[in-house]
Amino acid sequence: MLRRSSALAALAALLIALPALPQTTVPDHERMEAAMRLATTLNPQESYRERLSTLYASMTPMFAQAAEQGTLPPDFGERMARVMDEVMPYDTFIRIFAAQYAQRFTVEEINEILRFYASPTGAKMLNVSTDIGVEFMKRVSTEIMPKMHDAMRRQGLVK
């Protein structure tokens, strides 16, 4: 009798704790659909290629210096965007991006994130995030990369 009541108590405790457990009962397709909505919100197709071109153009000095090739073609950003289109078209990028969110967030959490991006502050963040990333890469290429070779030499990584 004691064993049976202990088992019932354990079952009751488990049932009470279920809402606190991570969401695992939602079918994967439901979570992935929500994650796809988030991925396309964060990376709209119409700006995807423009963002890549801008990003690669800002990285040109860094790549040139890191590769010690001197310079890259002036249309490096555009050409790298074409390379990315070939090896990872927009739909593939979105699917990979969405899968990462689906693994880390519940459907409810993804919907909460989507509500944030629908707000004025979230919309502003979407509008300026690419510019912030580009400016960051420019600063890295002009302020950090010039110091890289000497620091690597001091650490014995290059001669």
- For the stretch 51-81, pLDDT in tens is 776 666 666 666 655 555 556 676 776 777 7
CA 109, CA 114: separation in Å to the nearest integer?
Answer: 9
pLDDT for residue 149: 78
pLDDT for residue 14: 44
Q: Are 31 and 106 in contact (CB under 8 A)?
A: yes
Is the pTM value of this prediction over 0.85? no
Which of 7 and 135 is assigned the larger pLDDT? 135
- pLDDT one-digit tens code per residue, 136-153: 877 887 888 788 878 888
Q: How big is the chain by its Cα radius of gyration, in Å?
A: 24
Q: Are 68 and 152 in contact (CB under 8 A)?
A: no
Q: What percent of the chain has pLDDT over 70?
A: 68
